[in-house]
């Protein structure tokens, strides 16, 4: 029996950060700067940095560092801060269990099983890609089918060329970036097929990764068949109707050896569910308040585990807020921790799919709170408005709103003083 096998042997940590990617790194740095002395980052991979390590293209850091960086360069900035601030971290370490009392079970080949009791926990596990099994595509299971992120890792970290003639299903940002990456490596990207009538990626990625390389994007199209048994030999693509069902007679077959899937990201929330935290059916992540605290006291969430972001700069900003909040919580006594009963839910309307945070405590909130959200469709010449009851607090006209682009509004404490659930708070899209 190991020395940590009994509850009495559990180690104490002030703030435990689960995940050493962009969210976890920024949260740890902010927590340390906010006064947290007893910190620990737990990362299951062999290095810190998370998904950024395989994102060798530029475009990162314009908001955070005011310059354009590659993914590894962006990660290295935060890794350097973690080391300079003497924040301890564990690599190659899995979190096996997390309960609502912030008891955590860790496992690694080096240390075996370790049990930790944390005053505050920050969930920063990131997200995963939607696999083929979730897409209901008929056909055999030949070699040559990859999620876009897997192909990115194989090419950028392992050094493999995954294919020569490529079809991409889905126009998420990773798929768009891989269309360019594979073209630069000599592959021929035949087409990008997107089920929806709009792209799921950033406009700049459509321009820089598809248009600049004459790669066609087919909206309202999907893969209806995969050919080949040992290796992909072709795929058949068809147009879909408004119900997203294939239209007979529109099928076109492409001779190819590779199919990349870029069909959405799913927040990695198995540990979140272990705590019993309230979850959002829209984002797939936890429901949080203005401090990014979940419904479980002392458990905070940030980054792609909370909701899928389009820019890593927004992940870092959000994670910094979570780190500060967790540090404050860990340093406070039970009597100082305000109950969440005063929080007011943020309602959405007019095409707003969700908000993060989902609720606001007008007493506990800082002077300003950034509320991020996505829309359900492409809207043109609309106004983003915030209402307290029937009073419009703010309004901003915008030319285009799209699901692939995250939007935000700022809530001010002075405008929400005395807010009650009966009044309500709404974020809406209107003419």
Q: Write phi, then psi, for 179 (nearest 5 degrees).
A: -60, -45
Residue 7: pLDDT band (50, 70, 90) is: very low
Q: What confidence tier does 165 reach under pLDDT thresholds 50, 70, 90?
A: very high
Contact 363, 338 (CB under 8 A): yes
The share of the chain scoring above pLDDT 90, in percent, equals 86
pLDDT tens readout for residues 100-140: 999 999 999 999 999 999 999 999 999 999 887 777 787 78
Q: Provide the percentage of residues in the chain whose pLDDT is more than 70.
A: 96
In terms of phi and psi (left: phi > 0; alpha: psi -120 to 50; beta: otherwise), the region of 417 is: beta
pLDDT band for position 314 (50/70/90)?
very high
Cα–Cα distance, 64 to 70 (Å, whole number): 13
Contacts of 9 by beta carbon, 8 Å cutoff, 6+ apart: 3, 115
pLDDT at residue number 137: 81
The mean of the pLDDT values for the chain is 93
* 6 has a pLDDT exceeding 50: no
- Which pLDDT does position 158 carry in this prediction? 94
Tens of pLDDT, residues 57-93:
998 999 999 999 999 999 999 999 999 999 999 999 9
Q: What is the pLDDT at residue 335? A: 54
Locus of tokens 């007011």: 344
The whole-number average pLDDT for the span 247-259 is 97
Mean pLDDT for 390-404 is 94
Give the pLDDT mean for 189-218: 94
- pLDDT value at position 136? 76
Residues recorded for the chain: 431
- How far is 55 from 157, CA to CA, in rounded Å? 9
Report the pLDDT value the prediction gives residue 334, as an integer from 0 to 100: 67
- Model confidence at 5: pLDDT above 60: no
Report residue 208's pLDDT band, with 50, 70 and 90 as the boundaries: very high
| pLDDT over 50 at 307, yes or no | yes
CA distance 3 to 22: 33
Give the pLDDT confidence score for residue 337 in this predicted structure. Answer: 64
Q: How confident is the model at residue 341 (pLDDT cuts 50, 70, 90)?
A: low
Which range is least confidently modeled, 48-62, 324-338, 343-357?
324-338
């Amino acid at each position: 029996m190991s020395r940590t096998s009994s509850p009495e042997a559990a180690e104490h940590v002030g703030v435990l950060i689960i995940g050493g990617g962009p969210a976890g790194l920024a949260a740890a740095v902010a927590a340390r700067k906010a006064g947290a002395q007893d910190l620990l980052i737990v990362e299951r991979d062999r290095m810190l940095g998370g998904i950024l390590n395989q994102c060798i293209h530029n475009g990162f850091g314009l908001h955070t560092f005011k310059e354009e960086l590659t993914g590894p360069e962006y990660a290295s900035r935060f890794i350097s801060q973690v080391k300079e601030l003497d924040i301890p971290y564990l690599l190659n370490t899995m979190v096996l269990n997390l309960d609502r009392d912030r008891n955590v079970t860790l496992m690694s080949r080096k240390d075996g099983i370790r049990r930790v009791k944390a005053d505050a926990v920050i969930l920063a596990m990131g997200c995963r890609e939607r696999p083929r099994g979730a897409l209901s595509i008929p056909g055999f299971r030949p070699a040559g089918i990859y999620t876009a992120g897997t192909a990115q890792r194989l090419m950028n970290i392992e050094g493999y060329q995954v294919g020569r003639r490529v079809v991409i299903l889905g126009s998420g940002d990773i798929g768009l970036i891989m269309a360019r990456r594979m073209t630069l490596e000599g592959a021929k990207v035949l087409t990008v097929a997107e089920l929806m009538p709009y792209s799921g990626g950033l406009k700049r990625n459509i321009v820089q990764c598809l248009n600049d390389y004459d790669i066609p994007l087919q909206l309202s199209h999907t893969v209806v068949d995969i050919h080949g048994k040992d290796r992909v030999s072709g795929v058949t693509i068809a147009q879909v109707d408004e119900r997203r069902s294939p239209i007979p007679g529109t099928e076109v077959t492409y001779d190819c050896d590779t199919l990349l899937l870029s069909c959405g990201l799913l927040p990695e929330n198995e540990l979140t569910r272990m705590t019993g935290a309230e979850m959002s059916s829209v984002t797939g992540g936890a429901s949080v308040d203005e401090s990014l605290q979940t419904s479980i006291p002392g458990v905070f969430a940030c980054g792609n585990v909370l909701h899928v972001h389009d820019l890593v700069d927004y992940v870092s900003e959000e994670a910094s807020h979570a780190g500060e909040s967790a540090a404050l919580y860990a340093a406070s006594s039970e009597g100082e921790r305000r109950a969440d009963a005063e929080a007011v839910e943020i309602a959405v309307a007019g095409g707003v799919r969700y908000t993060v945070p989902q609720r606001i405590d007008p007493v506990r909130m800082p002077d300003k709170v950034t509320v991020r959200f996505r829309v359900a469709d492409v809207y043109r010449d609309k106004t983003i408005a915030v209402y307290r009851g029937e009073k419009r607090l703010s309004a901003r006209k915008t030319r285009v709103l799209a699901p692939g682009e995250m939007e935000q509004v700022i809530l001010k404490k002075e405008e929400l003083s005395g807010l009650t659930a009966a009044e309500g708070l709404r974020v809406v899209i209107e003419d």
